[in-house]
Amino acid sequence: MILDGQDSTAVQAAAQALAAGDLVGLPTETVYGLAADAGRDSAVAKIFEAKGRPSDHPLIVHVADAAGVDHFAQAVPDFARALMQAYWPGPLTLILPRRPEAGAAAAAGQDSVGMRCPAHPVATALLRACAALGVHGLAAPSANLFGRVSPTTAAHVQGEFGPSLLVLDGGACEVGIESTIVDCTRGAPVLLRPGGITRDQVEAACGQPLRTREELASPDPRASGTLEAHYAPQAKVRLMDAQALQTALDVLGPQASGIAVYARSALRPASPQLLLRRMPDDAETTARQLFAALRGFDEAGVKLIWVETPPPGSDWEGVRDRLQRAAAA
Ligand code: TXA
Ligand code: MG
């Protein structure tokens, strides 16, 4: 059931469902989430079951403001506080040392917890309504079946989980790809997933360079948050530069079909049956439209999606990452 997220009665109903241990589809500025009370392990278990997600794969806990972090995390380093100050609410998740008594199921048993304060008015309203009912954080992965493309509209969420799930409609997501994830548990910031906040922005706020996990490898190895291997549509994705893409198109006959082309450059397709869609010139607009575009190609029934490799540069890193993962699936 999709309810209007602007309607305070709907937000209240969603908060009550969450307080009762049920799941709710949650709009955020990045992608939609599948939310449960992060403080109740039995509710969190329903997320893993609904998504078909391995239970050792940790979830992000969403809070209404930076103060909410203290329910779940402890010993927050100064550079993490600086990141919250600079980019919260916003598309940035921080991995922090976990309070042993809080959020064990959400964190998949790890001694760390992913925390995010989303910048979407409906998410904020819901998180506040939840806090008033004693629910201090919402565990929410992207609201898609495991390994699939993340949803950026309420209809996408309903398409994944069916009409029995209560979904708050917050419109199409502004950012369109998942949050940037920075691990803050290793003494220096480590980028785990590029996203809406760029590498340059993270480094500017931290006042120090991002490091890699390998550089900071501890002698006492522990489970690292295994990042999803792919964000894949049903059709096979291939990344090519403009020239390789034109060459591939030239080889096709005029009868060729079943292929979608997603490119910034002007290309000459040999066949009128190919599905051509223009990739926007800027990274922000491309991110906003990316997952809906991939879903649209699947709906059109193509078997192959040929994508022009996005340009280099920090602002395109999130889009490049999602396309590379899709192509690797
Ligand atoms: O934008 C987003 O981050 C969206 C919206 C709904 O907030 N959420 C999202 O969640 O993308 P999910 O579960 O699809 O991806 C979360 C990623 C996973 O790759 C997981 O491994 C990592 O965050 N993660 C979560 N907690 C972690 C932890 N304690 N340590 C390391 N990685 C963690
Ligand atoms: Mg996901």
Residues 163, 18: one domain?
A: yes
Residues 244, 192: one domain?
A: no
Predicted local confidence at residue 217, as pLDDT: 66
Ligand 1 atom nearest to CA at 144: 14
Predicted local confidence at residue 122, as pLDDT: 98
| pLDDT band for position 225 (cuts 50, 70, 90) | very low
User: Which residue, 155, 157, 163, is CA-closest to 140?
Assistant: 157
**Atom 19, ligand 1: residue with shortest CA distance:** 227
Q: What tokens does 93 get?
A: 């998740």
With a 6 A CB cut-off, is 58 part of the ligand 1 pocket? yes
Lowest mean pLDDT among 48-57, 108-117, 241-250: 48-57
Domain of 26: which CATH number? 3.90.870.10
Residue 37 CA: distances (Å) to CA of 108, 151, 162, 247 = 14, 21, 21, 52
pTM (predicted TM-score):
0.95
Contact 71, 100 (CB under 8 A): no
Predicted local confidence at residue 53, as pLDDT: 86
CA–CA gap between residue 289 and residue 207 (Å, rounded): 32
Which of 26, 28, 59 best tests ligand 1's pocket when mutated (most atoms within 8 Å of CB)? 59
| pLDDT band for position 212 (cuts 50, 70, 90) | confident
In a domain? residue 107: yes
With a 6 A CB cut-off, is 227 part of the ligand 1 pocket? yes
With a 6 A CB cut-off, is 178 part of the ligand 1 pocket? yes
Q: What tokens does 35 get?
A: 């939310």
Ligand 1 atom nearest to CA at 53: 13
Which domain covers residue 124, as residue numbers? 2-206
Residues 243, 202: one domain?
A: no
Checking ipTM against 0.85, whether it exceeds it is yes
With a 6 A CB cut-off, is 180 part of the ligand 1 pocket? no
* Per-residue pLDDT tens over the stretch 129-159: 999 999 999 999 999 998 889 999 999 999 9
Whether 222 shows a pLDDT value over 60: the answer reads no
| pLDDT band for position 215 (cuts 50, 70, 90) | confident
Predicted local confidence at residue 148, as pLDDT: 87
CA–CA gap between residue 192 and residue 180 (Å, rounded): 8
With a 6 A CB cut-off, is 103 part of the ligand 1 pocket? no
Domain of 289: which CATH number? 3.40.50.11030
